């Protein structure tokens, strides 16, 4: 097997490949485009395309695809071969600059929230040269952005690139004002930690709910869950270890910096964390990682579940979005340094983030809203639906001292003694890890922890970049004409911390008292997707996006509609799946079992009145009663689904109806179904049990 450094990036047309294979002038022109966003000449594009194609053919490719991230939440691709007839019945392999730069997928079936209906039916994809092309399964993948013909954004990448541009511009202005004139570009960086479940493919194939919805809609708890905490960081089973090794290899080939792997809290749950990189690439890489995970799992006879809550009763899966800002001069702007009390620049950026999170808490909540993630937020396994931020004892004390004008005493790094001579003493990290906060400062970055595992990380990062850019721009306007800049900056920091301290919370976010306290502080508690997404179109949010040119008013409305509609569709599919399972499998299964019990009881009685039949009779009675309730509830759910059509004209009411009137009945139906499962003989139950799913690998 190839050594890792040779393997790494071997399927990527990266900078080194460009340097090797492009004429110098072409390489320089392309670099300019990548670094400064300058448009690319067609003649240059032709040369790049040809070199890319030759490289791709060497890697076994016959096709190319424009790879994009429409608003479905997954990536999209359409493969075209390189073949071109040469006139005498033969073909040659060709790829032009035009084909590299622009594609025209049939866009009519992608969600657009009504945008395309009112404008143009077509859409096009454009090459994003800031994310490298790569070869995978015989196809050259070209990362692209997706727009309508009239320029409306139809994807997640375009607004992400725009938001990165915005924060760069505004951060540079502030830094230049503070005297850092050599800073010309600022980049946000992200390292997303990805959680997932692995279960046996044979078991998966027997569960309609997993197949149709990605989560179990029924299923009584196994006798053992996660209460022993014996899975977290536990030894990795052979089959899982070989999956992980294979996965690392595939990811490394694609230039993805897969770094850490371990078992997570729930049985069968695992995590993969990459080393951070620029936000745009981190997003592409996270999408690829999820896709490759699924594929490699299949090779191992496994299924990778990325749903946020595949199993009730054990933890679901999330994604931690580690986010920071750094300059082209190599400085991490969120690094407080040794003496944060004297680091005015750090304080100013921190103040901008505190203000941003406070003013746009709704947008952060919206950015992580999904039908799947609704099961996690606030369920004591993930941060609550209330957005707040954790700064840790040290920074918290610093902010307090700034607000109160008192002296700041650093708690410093407490030396911890391990008490064992052979182990070196280590310094306790001053930003102690608060695992319950949705938005925690972790030394030199913020960790946004409310993301669901299946989410495309573009949206939360669009929000973060844009809202911080907005605050920095306001700061700049306030400071630019100051006669005493130093005093003005200090006053601004103090004012900002004072006005926005309500968003800072260093305590336990899982505690019920926090819900009350947060309400007193006026923080939002948006419990479900419809509750959250409702605020997408609040005037202040529309102002933010339009002023910063991330979305037009139409584009925001489109996203609002897509989110709500998609939510309703997901709940609808889940409800229909439950009805199908109930009627086709569960009711017949319990009926058969009751029949067997009845036959047994009757047979016993026929033999002799002296043989007790109370066990059978009790079970027959209990299951028959449940069966009546279950069947009634199924009918109720069917009616609830039919009732939704009344709300179709109003997308918000429609989504809320699904939450309040369909989802609630599903929960009740599940409870009865699960109770029947516990009383029915395993041989009769139509589905693999929780035990078989969670402990079957």
Query: Residue numbers of the site for ligand ADP (CB under 6 A)?
Result: 189-191, 193, 273-276, 322-324, 332, 444-445
Let me know if 201 is exposed, middle or buried by CB neighbors in 10 A (0-12, 13-18, 19+): middle
Report the residue closest to ligand ADP, judged by CB: 191
Token pair listed for 287: 């999408």
The nearer residue to Mg ion, 193 or 362, going by C-beta atoms, is: 193
Compute the least distance from the CB of residue 468 to ligand ADP, in Å: 14
Quick one: which of 231, 297, 233, 200 has its CA closest to 697? 200
Taking CB under 5 A as the binding criterion, the range among 54-62, 191-199, 493-501, 589-597 that sits at the site for Mg ion is: 191-199
The nearer residue to ligand ADP, 354 or 440, going by C-beta atoms, is: 440
State the Cα–Cα distance between residues 60 and 50, nearest whole angstrom: 15
Compute the least distance from the CB of residue 461 to ligand ADP, in Å: 11
The nearer residue to Mg ion, 219 or 274, going by C-beta atoms, is: 274
List all residues 6 or more positions away from 312 whose beta carbon is below 8 Å from its beta carbon. 216, 219, 221, 670
Q: Is 195 a binder of Mg ion (CB under 5 A)?
A: no
Taking CB under 5 A as the binding criterion, the range among 23-31, 190-198, 345-353, 585-593 that sits at the site for Mg ion is: 190-198
Compute the least distance from the CB of residue 273 to ligand ADP, in Å: 4
Taking CB under 5 A as the binding criterion, the range among 74-82, 140-148, 189-197, 610-618 that sits at the site for Mg ion is: 189-197
State the Cα–Cα distance between residues 451 and 282, nearest whole angstrom: 15
Compute the least distance from the CB of residue 320 to Mg ion, in Å: 5
The nearer residue to ligand ADP, 209 or 287, going by C-beta atoms, is: 287
Q: In 480-608, which ranges are continuous DSSP H helix? A: 485-500, 512-520, 529-533, 539-547, 553-580, 587-607
Looking at 99, 128, 155, 193, which residue binds Mg ion (CB under 5 A)? 193
The nearer residue to ligand ADP, 449 or 559, going by C-beta atoms, is: 449
Compute the least distance from the CB of residue 271 to Mg ion, in Å: 6
Query: Quick one: what does residue 190 bind among Mg ion, ligand ADP, none, with the CB cut-off 5 to 8 Å set by partner type?
Result: ligand ADP
State the Cα–Cα distance between residues 446 and 190, nearest whole angstrom: 10
State the Cα–Cα distance between residues 436 and 508, nearest whole angstrom: 6
The nearer residue to Mg ion, 279 or 453, going by C-beta atoms, is: 453
Query: Quick one: what does residue 414 bind among ligand ADP, Mg ion, none, with the CB cut-off 5 to 8 Å set by partner type?
Result: none
State the Cα–Cα distance between residues 272 and 173, nearest whole angstrom: 37
The nearer residue to ligand ADP, 52 or 164, going by C-beta atoms, is: 164
List all residues 6 or more positions away from 287 whose beta carbon is below 8 Å from its beta carbon. 69, 74, 75, 456
State the Cα–Cα distance between residues 95 and 97, nearest whole angstrom: 7
State the Cα–Cα distance between residues 551 and 556, nearest whole angstrom: 6
Query: Quick one: what does residue 444 bind among Mg ion, ligand ADP, none, with the CB cut-off 5 to 8 Å set by partner type?
Result: ligand ADP
The nearer residue to ligand ADP, 241 or 275, going by C-beta atoms, is: 275
Element (H, E) at 189: strand 186-200
Compute the least distance from the CB of residue 137 to ligand ADP, in Å: 26
State the Cα–Cα distance between residues 601 and 614, nearest whole angstrom: 8
Q: Is 284 a binder of Mg ion (CB under 5 A)?
A: no
Compute the least distance from the CB of residue 274 to ligand ADP, in Å: 6
Compute the least distance from the CB of residue 223 to ligand ADP, in Å: 31
Sign of the alpha-carbon dihedral angle for 7, 9, 12, 18:
negative
Residue 72: CB atoms within 10 A of its CB come to 15
Token pair listed for 172: 């540079």
Where along the sequence are the contacts to Mg ion (CB under 5 A)?
Answer: 193
């Amino acid at each position: 097997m190839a050594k890792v450094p040779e393997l790494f990036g071997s399927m990527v047309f990266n900078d080194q490949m460009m340097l090797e294979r492009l004429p110098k002038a072409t390489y320089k022109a392309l670099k300019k485009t990548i670094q400064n966003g300058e448009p690319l000449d067609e003649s240059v594009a032709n040369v790049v395309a040809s070199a890319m194609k030759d490289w791709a053919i060497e890697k076994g490719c016959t096709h190319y695809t424009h790879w994009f991230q429409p608003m479905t939440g997954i990536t999209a691709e359409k493969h075209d071969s390189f073949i071109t007839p040469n006139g005498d019945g033969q073909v040659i392999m060709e790829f032009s600059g035009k084909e590299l730069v622009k594609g025209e997928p049939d866009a009519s079936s992608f969600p657009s929230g009504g945008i395309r209906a009112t404008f143009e039916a077509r859409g096009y994809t454009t090459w994003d040269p800031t994310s490298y092309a790569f070869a995978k399964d015989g196809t050259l993948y070209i990362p692209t952005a997706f727009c309508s013909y009239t320029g409306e954004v139809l994807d997640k990448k375009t607004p992400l690139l725009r938001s990165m541009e915005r924060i760069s511009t505004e951060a540079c202005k502030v830094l230049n004002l503070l005297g850092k004139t050599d800073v010309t570009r600022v980049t946000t960086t992200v390292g997303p930690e990805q959680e997932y479940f692995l279960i046996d493919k044979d078991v998966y194939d027997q569960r309609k709910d997993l197949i149709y919805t990605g989560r179990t809609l029924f299923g009584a708890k196994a006798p053992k869950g996660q209460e022993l905490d014996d899975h977290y960081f536990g030894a990795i089973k052979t089959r899982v270890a070989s999956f992980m090794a294979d996965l690392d290899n595939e990811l490394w080939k694609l230039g993805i910096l897969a770094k850490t792997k371990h078992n997570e809290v729930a049985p069968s749950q695992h995590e993969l964390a990459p080393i951070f990189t620029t936000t745009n690439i981190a997003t592409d890489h996270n999408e690829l990682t999820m896709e490759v995970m699924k594929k490699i799992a299949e090779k191992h006879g496994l299924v990778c579940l990325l749903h946020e809550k595949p199993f009730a009763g054990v933890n679901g899966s999330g994604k931690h979005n580690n986010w920071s800002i750094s300059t082209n001069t190599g400085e991490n702007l969120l690094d407080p340094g040794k003496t944060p009390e004297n680091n005015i620049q750090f304080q100013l950026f921190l103040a901008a983030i505190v203000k941003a999170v406070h003013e746009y808490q709704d947008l952060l909540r919206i950015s992580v809203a999904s039908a799947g993630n609704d099961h996690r937020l606030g369920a004591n396994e993930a941060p609550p639906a209330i957005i707040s931020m954790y700064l840790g004892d040290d920074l918290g004390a610093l902010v307090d001292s700034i607000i109160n004008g008192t002296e700041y005493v650093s708690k410093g790094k407490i030396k911890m003694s391990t008490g064992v001579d052979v182990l070196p003493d280590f310094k306790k990290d001053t930003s102690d890890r608060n695992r319950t906060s949705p938005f925690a400062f972790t030394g030199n970055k913020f960790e946004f922890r409310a993301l669901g595992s299946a989410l495309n990380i573009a949206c939360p990062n669009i929000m973060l970049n844009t809202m911080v850019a907005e605050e920095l721009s306001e700061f700049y306007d306030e400071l630019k004409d100051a006669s005493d800049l130093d005093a003005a900056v200090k006053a601004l920091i103090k004012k900002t911390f004072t006005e926005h301290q309500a968003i800072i919370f260093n305590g336990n976010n899982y505690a019920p008292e926090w819900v009350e306290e947060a309400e007193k502080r006026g923080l939002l508690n948006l419990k479900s997707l419809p509750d959250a997404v409702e605020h997408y179109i609040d005037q202040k949010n529309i102002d933010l996006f339009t002023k910063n040119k991330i979305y037009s008013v139409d584009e925001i409305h489109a996203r609002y509609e897509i989110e709500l509609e998609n939510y309703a569709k997901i709940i609808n599919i889940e409800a229909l799946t439950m009805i199908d399972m109930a009627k086709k499998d569960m009711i017949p299964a319990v009926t058969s079992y009751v029949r067997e019990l009845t036959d047994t009881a009757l047979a016993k009685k026929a033999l002799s009145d002296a043989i007790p039949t109370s066990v059978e009779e009790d079970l027959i009675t209990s299951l028959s009663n449940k069966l009546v309730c279950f069947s009634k509830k199924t009918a109720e759910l069917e009616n609830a689904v039919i009732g939704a059509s009344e709300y179709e004209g109003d997308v918000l009411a429609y989504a809320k109806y699904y939450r309040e009137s369909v989802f609630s009945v599903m929960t009740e139906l599940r409870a009865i179904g699960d109770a029947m499962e516990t009383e029915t003989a395993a041989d009769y139950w139509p589905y693999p049990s929780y035990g078989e799913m969670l402990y079957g690998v």
